[in-house]
């Protein structure tokens, strides 16, 4: 689980081009949207593609996203439970 | 007739033109067939949250428009008009590559959203919260001139009082590879590269962004007045003289009235004859060239316009851009002539104010 979180943080930084932010700067429970990393709706779409492309998870109901994308912790837990690759 | 004043300028080019005195520090190039724009620190102008999604062209456009607006003391212009030959090609490349690499799946929105030609104008408007007229011209090597003409017409018909006008183009590896394949870019073996007295085909390619604030009022910051613009898609070499003379005639000006001619010589021997004709026509006039400093790109003429504006404001032709040894005590009229690959011929006339 820990290695998945580190991997996920690195992918988020890469995909969202978060300049000046390193893996160490993101805490597992930091909110991804609003406060914390300050991501927005376009980033949410990028994260949905990230899940599909890297872990084979397709989000069919957009409402699920709010809970899944709360933090790296919640994302990693969802990936661990649902990953297909 | 309402006059069009150039009241603010901003430039990013292969020279350090975003700061400092007028072409005081020169980076000379004879060995690279592609030269990249010298980048400023964008963090002072663009919020970090926005900057991460922006391609080089968008960043250059926002930075230079900001500089031009500040100089003209304009917070929000009435209109934003941009010209670009290739648009936001960096994001277009990314988006198209993602389609191929991922077999048309997993397409992300950011590159797609930012891949359109009008992204620069749109991002400037978003940053300024400018809800006025916003238009982007994509007309090859007269894209910038088209934007200038639109702005001039709008000022003359009192549709607007202050207009932000700019020319922007960025390079990407894939586009450069394609240009190399079709020999638009000079071959490595043809070094040293020269713009004047060249003996090889193709050009030294580059990128840049040059923005200007055009207004219907003179200010202390004014550089010059924009008197006239004309462009023509295709001309035979034998027609260039007539193109220039009839332009001057229609503006009631003789060849000897022009105090400096700014030529777009780019060192491509296939099309140098156009410039030779223009140069011969103005053999008794101080001549200026600039593409040895800026490189060639679809909106490189906007860099020429920046050079010409600076010449009139400073009443000085820097030695780095002198094509001949002629000088004048006063520079009142400056004419710019540009063409790319025998097409997109443009003439711009500006006057000291």
Residue B317 burial (CB count, 10 A): 26
- Listed residues B184, B215, B246: the one ending a domain: B215
- Residues B164, B231 within the same domain: no
**Do B187 and B315 sit in the same domain of this protein?**
no
Whether residue B265 sits in one domain with residue B193: no
Query: What's the average pLDDT block by block, 10 residues per block, for chain B (353 residues)?
Result: 96 96 91 97 87 94 98 98 96 91 86 92 97 98 98 97 98 95 96 94 98 98 98 97 98 97 98 98 98 98 98 97 97 98 98 96
Q: Give B124 to chain A, closest Cα distance, Å.
A: 19
Range of the domain at B125: 5-215
Give the CA distances from residue B239 to residues B236, B245, B278, in Å, rounded to whole numbers and listed in that order. 5, 10, 11
Smallest CA–CA separation between A49 and chain B, in Å?
A: 6
Both B255 and B201 in one domain: the answer is no
Residues B231 and B211 reside in one and the same domain: no
Packing angle between helix B240-250 and helix B272-281, nearest 10 degrees?
50
Cβ within 8 Å, pair A42-B109: yes
Write the residue in A16, A45, A53 that is nearest to B52 by C-beta.
A16
User: Can you tell me the distance from the alpha carbon of B302 to that of B83, in angstroms, rounded to the nearest whole number?
Assistant: 9
Q: Let me know whether B185 and B234 are in one domain.
A: no
CATH number of the domain residue B29 falls in: 3.40.47.10
Is A42 an interface residue toward B (CB < 8 Å)?
A: yes
- Domains of chain A: which residue ranges? 2-82
- How many domains does the structure of chain B reveal? 2
Task: Tell which of B156, B184, B215 closes a domain.
Answer: B215
Q: Do residues B271 and B208 share a domain?
A: no
Q: Is B49 on the interface with A (CB under 8 A)?
A: yes
What are the structure tokens assigned to B190, written together? 């043809």
Residues in A touching B108 (Cβ below 8 Å): 15, 45-46, 49
- Cα gap A40→B329, rounded to integer Å: 58
In the structure encoding, which two tokens stand for residue B301, read together?
Answer: 């003429």
Contact A45 B52 (CB under 8 A): no
A46 with B108: Cβ contact below 8 A: yes
Which of A16, A42, A49 is opposite residue B106, by nearest beta carbon? A49
Distance (Å, whole) CA A44 – CA A63: 12
* pLDDT tens, residue by residue, A8-57: 999 999 999 887 889 999 999 999 998 778 898 889 999 999 999 999 99
Q: CATH class for domain A2-82? A: mainly alpha
- Any CB–CB contact under 8 A between B192 and chain A? no
Q: What is the ipTM of this complex?
A: 0.77
Supply the pLDDT for residue B17. Answer: 97
On whether any CB of chain B is under 8 Å from the CB of A56, the answer is no
pLDDT the model gives residue B48? 79
Please indicate, yes or no, if residue B105 is contained in any of the structural domains. yes
Determine the pLDDT at residue B228. Answer: 98
B135-139: long-range contacts (C-beta < 8 A, 24 or more apart)? B135/B79, B135/B80, B135/B81, B135/B82, B136/B81, B136/B82, B136/B83, B136/B84, B136/B87, B137/B81, B137/B82, B137/B83, B137/B84, B138/B83, B138/B84, B138/B85, B138/B87, B139/B83, B139/B344
Please say which residue of B215, B235, B268 terminates a domain: B215
- Residue A13's closest chain B neighbor by CA? B52
> Residue B10, Cβ neighbours under 10 Å: how many?
27
For residues B194 and B234, membership in a common domain is answered with: no
């Amino acid at each position: 689980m820990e290695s998945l979180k580190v991997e996920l943080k690195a992918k988020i930084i890469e995909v969202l081009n978060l300049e000046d932010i390193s893996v160490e700067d993101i805490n597992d429970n930091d909110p991804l949207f609003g406060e914390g990393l300050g991501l927005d709706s376009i980033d949410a779409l990028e994260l949905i593609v990230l899940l599909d492309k890297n872990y084979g998870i397709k989000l069919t109901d957009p409402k699920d996203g709010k809970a899944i994308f709360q933090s790296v912790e919640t994302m990693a837990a969802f990936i661990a439970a649902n990953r297909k690759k | 007739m309402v006059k069009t004043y150039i009241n603010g300028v901003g430039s990013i080019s292969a020279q350090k033109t975003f700061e400092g005195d007028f072409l005081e520090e020169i980076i000379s190039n004879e060995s690279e067939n592609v030269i990249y724009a010298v980048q400023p620190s964008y963090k002072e102008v663009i919020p970090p949250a926005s900057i991460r999604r922006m391609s080089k062209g968008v960043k250059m456009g926002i930075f230079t428009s900001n500089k031009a607006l500040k100089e003209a003391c304009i917070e929000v212009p009435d209109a934003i008009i941009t010209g670009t030959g290739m648009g936001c090609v960096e994001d277009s490349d990314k988006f198209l590559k993602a389609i191929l690499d991922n077999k048309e799946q997993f397409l992300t929105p950011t590159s797609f959203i930012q891949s359109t030609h009008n992204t620069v104008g749109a991002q400037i408007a978003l940053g300024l919260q400018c809800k006025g007229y916003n238009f982007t011209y994509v007309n090859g090597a007269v894209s910038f001139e088209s934007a200038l003409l639109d702005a001039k017409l709008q000022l003359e018909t009192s549709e607007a009082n202050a207009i932000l006008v700019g020319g922007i183009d960025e390079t990407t590896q894939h586009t450069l590879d394609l240009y190399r394949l079709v020999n638009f870019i000079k071959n490595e073996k043809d070094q040293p590269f020269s713009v004047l007295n060249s003996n090889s085909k193709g050009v030294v390619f580059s990128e840049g962004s040059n923005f200007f604030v055009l207004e219907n009022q003179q200010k202390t910051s004014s550089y010059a007045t924009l008197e006239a613009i004309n462009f023509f898609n295709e001309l035979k070499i034998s027609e260039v003289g007539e193109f220039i003379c009839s332009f001057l005639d229609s503006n009631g000006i003789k060849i000897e009235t022009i105090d400096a001619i700014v030529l777009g010589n780019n060192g491509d021997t296939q099309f140098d004859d156009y410039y030779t004709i223009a140069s011969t026509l103005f053999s008794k006039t101080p001549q200026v060239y600039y593409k040895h400093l800026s490189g060639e790109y679809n909106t490189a003429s906007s860099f020429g316009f920046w050079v010409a504006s600076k010449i009139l404001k400073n009443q000085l032709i820097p030695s780095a851009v002198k094509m001949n040894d002629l000088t004048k005590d006063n520079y009142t009229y400056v004419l710019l002539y540009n063409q790319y690959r025998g097409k997109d011929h443009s003439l711009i006339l500006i006057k000291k104010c």
